[in-house]
Amino acid sequence: MAGVAVPRVSADDRLRRLLALVPWVAAHDGPTVEEVCARFGCTEQDLVEDLELLFVCGLYPYTPDVLIETDIADGRVWIRYAEYFSRPLRLTPDEGLALLAKARTLLAVPGSDPTGPLARGLVKLARVVGVDPDEALEIEINPVATEVIDVMRRAVSEHRQVAMEYYSFGRDSATSRVVDPYSVFAASGQWYVSAFCHTVDDERLFRLDRVRSARPLDATFAAPAVAPDLTVYEPQPDDPRVELDLEPAAGWVIEQYPVERVEDRPDGGWRVRLVASERAWLERLLLRLGRDARVVAGPVGAAQDAAGRLLSRYR
């Protein structure tokens, strides 16, 4: 979308998209290029590059029977599985549980089919392993409800306001909002709606996987002549800052979050400065990092406070 800064897709996001795209395309017997791109939030060039990468994926000795076949012709896309996919898969209980946990994250990738072959296969696998995949496994990426995307897309085309319940990850709270949705788009493996929020009286980007419910209203709005120049996250000058010492295993923080300064440390780690607009967000990050991070400037007790609250619940 013109005027909206779209972050570069990381290798991890691209891999997740490709793994979710394969079973959907294979199950739909030649969907159109436009349909695939719209569903998975990518350009035609992105799709071609993904398929070129997929075409060279297989097993030794890389003969035709162990390679996945891809084809784009007459504006349609085909993916045909290699022959080894038809062979029975034998897993140990540990392997089955690990596969179930990892595959569940693919169902959360924008465009994945929650009732498609992957979802049906996971239900069967969960039954054999003896777990409930919806309750026993935690995943970091939440699926976007199809009805939420449909409501937002219709509201964009009809210039209609939407009432929604939205969960703010940073503040760890849910709010009711009325928004004027300008556009729906995908970036870095997530779906967003660019909108004017009447609650804060300003333009905002909202992640659609955090929209708990969306209801179109009768009220309409006039779309702006020029799309607002929004980014996924825009730090403010007065937002709190925090400095962390990161161990080498925590290098993913530098790639995933808006880091303002990075300094190499002699032990192979880094000292970073990043924006921590909301304390709840920082506490969750520190709990996830554990011993791989230490606060050297800012709310030094954030991790201990959060850990103490968690322990009190277990007690």
Residue 203 to residue 195: CA distance in whole angstroms: 6
The hierarchical CATH code for the domain 241-314 is 3.30.70
Asked if 260 and 298 touch (Cβ cutoff 8 Å), the reply is no
pLDDT value at residue 164: 93
Q: Which CATH class is domain 146-220?
A: mainly beta
77-81, 143-147, 171-175, 286-290: lowest mean pLDDT where? 143-147
pLDDT of 161 strictly over 90: yes
pLDDT value at residue 138: 41
Q: Which residue has the tokens 């998975």?
A: 40
Asked if 277 and 235 touch (Cβ cutoff 8 Å), the reply is yes
Q: Strand (E) positions, the chain?
A: 69-73, 76-80, 160-168, 173-187, 190-197, 202-207, 211-220, 241-246, 259-264, 270-275, 293-297
Q: What is the pTM of this model?
A: 0.41
Q: Convert the pLDDT of each residue in 95-127 to its tens digit.
A: 777 777 666 666 666 666 666 777 777 777 777
Asked if 66 and 83 touch (Cβ cutoff 8 Å), the reply is yes
pLDDT value at residue 282: 74
Top-confidence residue, 303 or 177:
177
Nearest to 4 by CA among 185, 188, 222, 189: 185
Q: Convert the pLDDT of each residue in 236-274 to its tens digit.
A: 666 778 888 888 888 877 766 767 778 888 888 888 888
Residue 120 to residue 34: CA distance in whole angstroms: 26
Give kind and range of the element (H or E) at residue 128. Answer: helix 117-129
Domains 146-220 and 241-314 belong to one CATH topology: no
Q: Give residue limits of the domains in the chain.
A: 11-129, 146-220, 241-314
Tell me what the mean pLDDT of segment 131-143 comes to.
48
User: Could you tell me the pLDDT band of residue 150, with boundaries at 50, 70 and 90?
Assistant: confident
